[in-house]
C-alpha cells in the first residue's frame, strides 16, 4: 500500500525527470553538452537520457531547402503562383509517395499494354495484306495468267 509521502516522492521524481529530459532536449537542439546528476533515477530512467543522446546523434538537424520553404509559405498563406496549378495536380502532390509510385507504374503498364496491342494489330494487318495479295494473284480471271 502506498502512502501519501510515497506518492509525493514518485510525483516529485517524475517531475524532475521530465524537467531534466526537457533540459537535455534543449541542450541537444543547441548542440551543447548536457550534464546532470542522474544517480537519483533508476537504470531504466537513466537509459532515457542515453536514448535521447543516441537519437540526436543518429538524426542530426536538417535545414529545409529554400524552394521547400517558399512553397510551404505560398501554400500556408494561400498565395497563388503566377501560373495556376490544376486541381488534379495539387491532389497528386498531396498523395503519399507510395501511392504516387503505384499509380505511375500502373499508368506505365497500361500504356505498354495498349502499345503492344496496337503493334500487334499493325503486324496482323500487314501479314493479312501480304497473304491476301498472294492469294489474289492466283485467282486471276485473265486466262493468260493461268
69 within a domain of the structure (yes/no) = no
Is the dihedral angle over the CA atoms 117, 123, 126, 128 positive or is it negative?
Answer: negative
Do 17 and 54 sit in the same domain of this protein? yes
Give the pLDDT band (50/70/90) at residue 120: very high
Q: Looking at 58, 73, 100, which one is the last position of a domain?
A: 58
71 within a domain of the structure (yes/no) = no
What pLDDT sits at residue 76? 81
66 within a domain of the structure (yes/no) = no
What pLDDT sits at residue 67? 92
Name the range with the highest mean pLDDT among 22-31, 81-90, 124-133.
22-31
Q: How far is CA 90 from the centre of its chain?
A: 16
Residue 127 has pLDDT above 60, yes or no: yes
146 within a domain of the structure (yes/no) = no
How buried is residue 97: exposed, middle or buried, by Cβ count under 10 Å (0-12/13-18/19+)?
exposed
Residue 141 grid cell:
480471271
Name the range with the highest mean pLDDT among 4-8, 36-40, 120-124.
120-124
Contact 52, 25 (CB under 8 A): yes
Number of domains in the chain: 2
Residue 56 grid cell:
540526436
Range of the domain at 95: 87-135
pLDDT, the chain, mean = 81
Q: Looking at 17, 41, 58, which one is the last position of a domain?
A: 58
Residue 47 has pLDDT above 80, yes or no: yes
Percent of the chain scoring above 70 in pLDDT: 77
144 within a domain of the structure (yes/no) = no
31 within a domain of the structure (yes/no) = yes
Report if pTM > 0.95. Answer: no
Contact 36, 20 (CB under 8 A): yes
Give the pLDDT band (50/70/90) at residue 69: very high
41 within a domain of the structure (yes/no) = yes
104 within a domain of the structure (yes/no) = yes
Amino acid at each position: 500500500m502506498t502512502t501519501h509521502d510515497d506518492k509525493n516522492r514518485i510525483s516529485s521524481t517524475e517531475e524532475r525527470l521530465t524537467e531534466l529530459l526537457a533540459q537535455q532536449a534543449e541542450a541537444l537542439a543547441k548542440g551543447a553538452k548536457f550534464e546532470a546528476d542522474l544517480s537519483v533515477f533508476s537504470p531504466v530512467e537513466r537509459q532515457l537520457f542515453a536514448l535521447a543522446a543516441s537519437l540526436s546523434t543518429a538524426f542530426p538537424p536538417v535545414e529545409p531547402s529554400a524552394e521547400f520553404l517558399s512553397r510551404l509559405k505560398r501554400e500556408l498563406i494561400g498565395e497563388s503562383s503566377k501560373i495556376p496549378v490544376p486541381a488534379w495536380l495539387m491532389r497528386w502532390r498531396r498523395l503519399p509517395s507510395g501511392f504516387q509510385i503505384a499509380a505511375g507504374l500502373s499508368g506505365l503498364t497500361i500504356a505498354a499494354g495498349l502499345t503492344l496491342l496496337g503493334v500487334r494489330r499493325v503486324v496482323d494487318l500487314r501479314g493479312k495484306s501480304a497473304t491476301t495479295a498472294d492469294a489474289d494473284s492466283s485467282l486471276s480471271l485473265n486466262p493468260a495468267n493461268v
